[in-house]
Amino acid sequence: MSLFRRGRGGPARVSALEAAAGTGHGQSAATPSGTSVLLDVREADEWHAGHAPGAVHQPLADLASGAALAHAAQARPVVVICRSGNRSRQAAELLSARGVEAVDVVGGMRAWAEAGLPVVDARGGNGTVA
Active-site residues: which are they?
82
Contact 83, 41 (CB under 8 A): no
Instruction: Find how far residue 1's CA is from the centre of its chain.
Output: 20
Using CA atoms, how far apart are residues 81 and 16, in angstroms rounded to an integer? Answer: 9
Report CA-CA distances (Å) from 15 to 21, 64, 75, 122: 10, 24, 23, 24
Task: Name residue 61's amino acid.
Answer: A
